[in-house]
């Protein structure tokens, strides 16, 4: 029997007849914990945790087409109508009063809300003829690598709850992030680097660090944020006069004391996670400086990503570092950019934002492909929701858009997605998805499937039930799979 006590990861059918019998012996906390223990008995994830190596690499449930993920998070909700989903009908109804379908106009809506056309012209990019606003000048060059999805919907119009749902599957926070689920399921190839790395903006996104939390999973699976300015990791180098031998002796003493304490409280994973983080930090001192040092990159590479160029330097550095990290075996890297919350002046706001990410993203995809990494690296681009076709100001030029959970565009590249295709569609005004309409949980399940993980088997016992990323199950979007 496993030595783990309390909640634990579960793979496969969690309860067979023997387990059901034991579960039926009583509803006490002890009996439920015992059931969880038995359910996880032969899990490779339990074995990893029990061995003290929670991030050791392990197989998934299914054949995988992707090994790593680079998740480009455009916080604030980019407008699909002004990026990748053109609506000529909006040109015809521009500045006409907006009427919500099936509803009487409210006093607030009457005389104040208007349809707004896109300030951007659109073009057909690549051999696949992908729709792109013409200011995506560099991304157009890799259009045939992209798989656009226009059918996704979410539940919330508020930034924090929508961010939580996109990142963690739950609108109310407290659940593990996608990167935590991924490293819990697959571990990480490189034991000297975190398995889940995050590059936030200087100001954290709506909802804060809970967007890359481990939630109820063991603390070892939480995301590691790297600072966008200055040293990515504070105090990475030891103080002057402190040798690695002295550090090693200190860590051995701390580990010994922590092990004695942990033996008295085996159900608490935080102490072991802290010990693991000390050991990881010790190992990172040897690898991280090299990985994060862009001064060793040649001038052509830096120019390609837009590094040292005012508009693109910040996101260019993130994209280049993301490529270097997945090349070193990091499983999940999330890059934040924002905010795309353009309630007014959308031409200026989205124009500047696109200018900042267009060149770096195109360089990332090209670089991954040239290095033979695109086939095994899934690149995802999305925000937490889309925008509405209305919210203009009559007689002015400060046109903007409201939040829209019913229609959004996201795209993927590499990792086994259906390159050169556009899947799903929205109505003629872009207000709601009408083809291949899927909830965000189905998109989550699809991402896991590409990684060889089955959402129904990747579960964790917490608060009296077995939990999963999709919350209550979902279906893969087969149309997105190559």
Q: What is the pLDDT of residues 133-156, one digit of tens each?
A: 999 999 999 999 999 999 999 999
Q: Which residues pair with 304 in a beta bridge?
A: none
Domain for residue 364, yes or no?
yes
- The pLDDT of 28-39, averaged and rounded, is 40
Does the structure show a pLDDT above 70 at 349?
yes
DSSP reduced 3-state for 333: strand
Residues in CB range of 50: below 8 A, 6 or more apart: 2, 3, 4
Does the structure show a pLDDT above 50 at 21?
no
Copy the structure tokens of residue 341: 């919350």
Does the structure show a pLDDT above 90 at 265?
no
Name the least confident of 105-109, 364-368, 406-410.
105-109
Local confidence band at 293 (pLDDT 50, 70, 90 cut-offs): confident
455, 169 contact by CB (below 8 A): no
- Per DSSP, 447 falls in state H
Q: What is the pLDDT of residues 420-477, one digit of tens each?
A: 999 999 999 999 999 999 999 999 999 999 999 999 999 999 999 999 999 999 999 9
- pLDDT, mean over the chain: 85
Domain for residue 143, yes or no?
yes
DSSP reduced 3-state for 178: helix
DSSP reduced 3-state for 148: strand
Domain for residue 45, yes or no?
no
Rounded Cα gap, residues 331 and 395, in angstroms: 50
How many domains does the chain fold into? Answer: 1
- The pLDDT of 388-393, averaged and rounded, is 83
Local confidence band at 106 (pLDDT 50, 70, 90 cut-offs): very low
Local confidence band at 26 (pLDDT 50, 70, 90 cut-offs): very low
Rounded Cα gap, residues 425 and 331, in angstroms: 31
pLDDT at position 253: 76
Q: How many Å is the Cα radius of gyration of the chain?
A: 24
Q: What are phi and psi of 421, to 5 degrees?
A: -130, 155
Local confidence band at 264 (pLDDT 50, 70, 90 cut-offs): confident
Does the structure show a pLDDT above 50 at 375?
yes
pLDDT at position 54: 82
CATH no. for residue 144?
A: 3.40.720
DSSP reduced 3-state for 123: strand
Domain for residue 278, yes or no?
no
Does the structure show a pLDDT above 60 at 102?
no
- The pLDDT of 317-321, averaged and rounded, is 96
* Beta carbons within 10 angstroms of residue 85's beta carbon: 23
Q: What is the pLDDT of residues 38-91, one digit of tens each?
A: 344 435 555 554 455 788 999 999 999 999 999 999 999 999 999 999 999 999
Domain for residue 187, yes or no?
yes
pLDDT at position 241: 67
Look up the domain containing 430 and give its range: 68-229+295-457
- Per DSSP, 105 falls in state P
Domain for residue 360, yes or no?
yes
Place of tokens 């299914």: 62
């Amino acid at each position: 029997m496993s030595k783990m006590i309390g909640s634990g990861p579960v793979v496969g059918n969690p309860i067979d007849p023997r387990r059901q019998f034991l579960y039926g012996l009583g509803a006490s906390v002890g009996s439920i914990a015992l059931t969880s223990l038995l359910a996880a008995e032969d899990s490779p994830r339990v074995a990893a945790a029990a061995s003290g190596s929670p991030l050791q690499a392990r197989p998934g449930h299914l054949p995988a087409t992707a090994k790593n993920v680079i998740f480009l998070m455009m916080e604030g909700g980019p407008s699909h109508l002004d990026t990748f989903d053109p609506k000529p009908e909006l040109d015809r109804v521009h500045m006409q009063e907006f009427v919500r379908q099936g509803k009487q106009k409210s006093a607030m809506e009457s005389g104040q809300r208007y349809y707004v056309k896109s300030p951007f012209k659109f073009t057909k990019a690549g051999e696949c003829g992908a729709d792109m606003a013409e200011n995506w000048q560099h991304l157009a060059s890799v259009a045939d690598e992209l798989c656009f999805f226009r059918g996704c919907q979410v539940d919330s119009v508020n930034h924090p709850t929508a961010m939580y749902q996109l990142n963690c599957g739950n609108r109310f926070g407290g659940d593990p992030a996608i990167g935590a689920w991924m490293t819990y399921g697959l571990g990480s190839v490189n034991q000297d680097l975190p398995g889940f790395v995050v590059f936030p903006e200087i100001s954290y996104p709506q909802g804060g660090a809970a967007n890359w939390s481990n939630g109820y999973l063991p603390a070892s699976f939480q995301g590691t944020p790297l600072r966008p300015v200055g040293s990515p990791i504070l105090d990475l180098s030891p103080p002057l006069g402190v040798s690695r031998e002295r550090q090693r002796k200190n860590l051995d003493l701390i580990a010994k004391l922590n092990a004695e304490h942990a033996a008295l409280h085996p159900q608490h994973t935080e102490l072991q996670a802290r010990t693991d983080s000390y050991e990881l930090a010790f190992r990172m001192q040897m690898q991280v400086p090299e990985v994060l040092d862009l001064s060793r990159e040649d001038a052509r590479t830096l120019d390609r990503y837009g590094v040292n160029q005012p508009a693109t330097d910040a996101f260019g550095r993130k994209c280049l570092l993301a490529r270097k990290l997945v090349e070193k075996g990091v499983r999940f890297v999330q890059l934040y950019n924002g905010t795309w919350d353009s309630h007014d002046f959308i031409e200026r706001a989205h124009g500047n934002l696109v200018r900042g990410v267009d060149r770096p993203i195109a360089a990332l995809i090209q670089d991954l492909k040239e290095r033979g990494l695109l086939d095994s690296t899934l690149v995802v681009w999305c925000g937490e929701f889309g925008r509405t076709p209305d919210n203009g100001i009559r007689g002015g030029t400060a046109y903007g858009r409201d939040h829209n959970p019913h229609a959004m565009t996201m795209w993927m590249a590499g990792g086994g997605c259906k390159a050169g295709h556009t899947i799903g569609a929205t109505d003629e005004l872009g207000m709601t998805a009408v083809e291949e309409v899927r909830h965000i949980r189905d998109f989550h399940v699809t991402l896991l499937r590409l990684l060889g993980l089955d959402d129904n088997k990747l579960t964790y016992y917490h608060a009296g039930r077995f939990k999963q990323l999709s919350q209550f199950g979902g279906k893969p979007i087969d149309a997105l799979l190559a």
